[in-house]
Each structure stands twice: as structure tokens, then as C-alpha cells.
Amino acid sequence: MIRMERHQDNHFAVRFQRILSTSSLIVGVCAAIAMVMVGLCGIVLYQGRQDAMEHTRDTLRDISLIAQRDIERNFEFYALSLQAVVDVLSDPNVMALPPRLRRLVLFDRAASARYLGAMLVLDAAGNIILDSAHDIPRKGNFADQTYFVVHRDHPDFGLYISDPVQSGDGPSIVLTRRLSHADGSFAGIVLLSINLEYFHNLFAGLSLGPHGTMSLTGRNGVMIMRQPYDTRNIGRNVKGASTFAHFQTAVQGSFIETSSIDGTRRLYWFSNFPRYPLIITVAAAEQDIYAAWWHRTLLIGSLMLIFGSAFVALSILLGIQLRRRMRAESELQLLARTDGLTGLNNRRSLGEILEREWRRARRNRSVMSLLFVDIDRFKAFNDTYGHQAGDDALAAVARCISASIRRPADSAARYGGEEFVVVLPETSAMGATEIAERIRGAISGCGIEHATSEYGRVTASIGVVSRVPGTDDDLSAAIKAADEALYYAKSRGRNRVSLSETT
């Protein structure tokens, strides 16, 4: 390509880079906005996950509190029933009553209580001496039972709660109190059995979720009840389980652990009874905790990704359209400043270039040179070879001019018809004359046939003017001087370079 075309292409490339950067900036900003939106959505969803965990923890604590209060209230009643028997046994008037009446007086509180089994009084040898269910006590000895041995060997033990045992009323736990003689010696025990159905029905009535669990365990690690109910878990010792280790770290609290019974990972809430050696535990499976959250996350996350992707896609399309529009506008601006035939600046651009360079030269007190280039006998060439050949010749001359100027600041324009102007900032008369000779030689060297020319080929005459603009100097005067130098070259035989005498 010719130098001027390269210069104009560089200018277009700069503008195109600006277009690309602008559209890329728009796409980048839109993509950043989409990422921020997705990020904010992710934060909200993550917070929702945390909220689901906290809500479940609060629910487990409430369920645990409900069950604990119910158990404590009933155990308080059972303990009072036992204590009432202990107190009445010391009254000789009651013991002198007939068996049936004595039974009603001793066991009236326990007789109507739900989930209670037998209430018995054992002597110091472990034999049954009083029975809440029969006027004549049933036969039996319990001297080998742990609850009997504990009271026999520990006078101050108080209320004892046994591990689950199998009785005639089904799986039960036994609550016992010591009986003492007036001198404090061991006189036997009072025992009351509580059917484990009480705990089973209590736990079953509380909502735990599809994979939730609830258990009541002694502090010795023996499980009294677990929901979901499985007889194999009753009496099972879980003291070695990883979950049980947490129960000993605080009075109450929560943790996440995998169950040793079914391998399910759960959130646990536990509470140690303040007055009884019992621990209640309520747990919810992670899959249940996050079930609703996962459904909401998948729905909202999918919609956000779809809308975010659509937003980015639309921004890309907008960027592409903007790029096309700006490129079209840039091309139109370039066409408006360029001569369509030669690719050089047109006369409008030339005026702007001349004004700009003239002001710069005047401001910097530097020299500025102008070349007026005119194709010799061009009208005759057109008449002989036609306008198409004339256009080809003009394009060839423009290429010669562009190829002959070296610096980026140098510029050339089609002035009109077969005339061209070259603007050479900071170029002396000698340098301008050398460039003019280079242009003239290049045009002549093309060897374009011109039969009506005295040289037999297309040639050009060039007028040169160099000025250091003063404060009052006029650009039009310099242009006129270059034009006069051009006509002087033509008058001397054409195919020449003429330097203005007013330089």
C-alpha cells in the first residue's frame, strides 16, 4: 500500500482499537454486573443454608425442652408416689389395717397413673411384702437386682432409676427408694416400674422429620428409648459412640456427627437433666434440614444462571452491534476525509491539516514547506486515452507521492482535478526540493504512456515553497506562492521542480 494509505490505515486502526476497547468495556462491565448478581445470589442462598441450620437447631431445642419437661413432671409425680409409700409405711395405724384397705391407702396415687406397672415393697432380704396389684403379695425375690444392691450399700443414694428391664408388664425402667428402720439400718426398698411405652408414645408424638431421631439415655450410656423405635436399641450401651462423648462436655448444646447406629449424619441437640441421671437427644438428618433449601437453591440458582447468561449474551450482542455501528461511523468519517479515487486526503481534510500545521509552525517558529504537484497535459491525456485511463493515472501518481514522503507527520491530499498538495512540517527548502524531485522522478519512472506529451509519458510539474510563519503571515500567501512556483515550472518546459523565489 502507498504511504498515505498506510497513514490513513493507522488512523483507522487506532479508531478501530478504540471501538474494540469501548465495546469490550461494555461487555466486561455487563459481565461483571452479572457476576456480582450471581455472587449476591450465592451469598443469599448460602445465608439461607445457614438460616435453615439455625432454624432446625432452634426447633430441636424446643422439641427437647417439651419432652424433657414432660418427663421431669411425670418423674416428679412418680418420686412423690414413692416417697408417700415410704412415709405411710412408718405409720403403725396404716400397717394395722386389713390387707385390701392397706393396699388402697398405700398405693392410691399410683393406682390410677398411666404407664405404671407394679409398685412393690421389698423387705431387707429382697422379698415382696406389699403389692399394689394384689391384696396378698405375689412371690418374688429381687435381692440380686442392681437397684436393690445400690440402696442396701448406699444409705444416702435417694431416688434410683434403673436401666431397662423386662418385667411382666413389658419393657420397663424401675424407680426405687430406700426403706430404713428407726436406727437407720436397711429395711428394704419401694419400687415402681414405668412402662417404656410412655417414652415411645411421647417421642412418636413429636415431629422429627423423615430421618430424625430422638433418644433418652442414662448417663452410664445405656439407651432407654430411641425413636424410630427398634427393640434392639433398648438397653444398648452407646457410651463408646462418638456422639456420646459430646454429652459429657456441657449441660446442653448441639453438634453435627454421624450416628453409630445407622450411619446417618445429623445435627444433634442434647440436654442433661438437672435432677435425674438422664440425657435427652433430638437429631435431624442433614438431608432433611437442607431438603427445602436444596429445592429453592436449584430453582433460584438455575434461574439466576439463565438470566445472568442471557444478560451477558445480550451485552455481547449489544457490544457487537455497537462495534459495527462505531466502525461504520468511523468508516464514514474516514470516507468523508478521503478522496475516493486516490486514497489521499481530500480538500476538506487538506484545509484542516494546513491550518493545524501552519499554527504549529508559527507557535514553534519552525519552517513549513508545501508542494504543489500538477500532472502535465492531463486534459490531453484524458482526451486521448479516456477517463478510466485518466483515473488510473491519478491513482498511480498518488501512489508515487505517498511512497516518496517518509515521516508520519508528512501528509498529501488531492487538491482538485490533477492537482495534489504535499504538506511537510519542519522541512527546509532544500529538503522539500529533494522530496519534490523524488516525487517527480517516481511519476516519470512509472512510464505511463502519454503520446501527446513532449516526454512521451506521464510527468508532473511541482512548485515548492518553504516558510517560517510570522505573527502576521497569512497561509493563503504561502499557498499562492507555491501555486506560482508550479506555473513557473510549467512555463520552463514542465516535468520540473520550481522553488518559490519568495521563500
- Per-residue pLDDT for 12 more than 50? no
Q: Is the pTM of this model over 0.85?
A: no
- Per-residue pLDDT for 104 more than 80? no
Closest CA to 49 of 253, 352, 314, 301: 301
pLDDT score recorded for residue 175: 94
pLDDT score recorded for residue 389: 92
Candidate from 2-6, 109-113, 460-464 with smallest mean pLDDT = 2-6
For 182-209, how does the pLDDT look when each residue is reduced to its tens digit (9 = 90+)? Answer: 888 999 999 999 999 999 999 988 878 8
86: left (phi over 0), alpha (psi -120 to 50) or beta: alpha
pLDDT score recorded for residue 457: 93
pLDDT score recorded for residue 16: 47
pLDDT score recorded for residue 148: 94
95 vs 393, higher pLDDT = 393
Report the alpha-carbon distance of residue 342 to residue 399 in Å, rounded: 8
Report the alpha-carbon distance of residue 206 to residue 204 in Å, rounded: 6
Report the alpha-carbon distance of residue 137 to residue 129 in Å, rounded: 6
Q: Which CB contacts under 8 angstroms, 24+ apart, belong to 288-293? A: 288/209, 288/210, 288/211, 288/212, 289/52, 289/53, 289/56, 290/49, 290/52, 292/52, 293/45, 293/48, 293/49, 293/52
For 110-151, how does the pLDDT look when each residue is reduced to its tens digit (9 = 90+)? Answer: 555 678 888 899 999 999 998 887 888 889 999 999 999 999
Q: Which residue has the cell 391384696?
A: 135
- Per-residue pLDDT for 36 more than 90? no
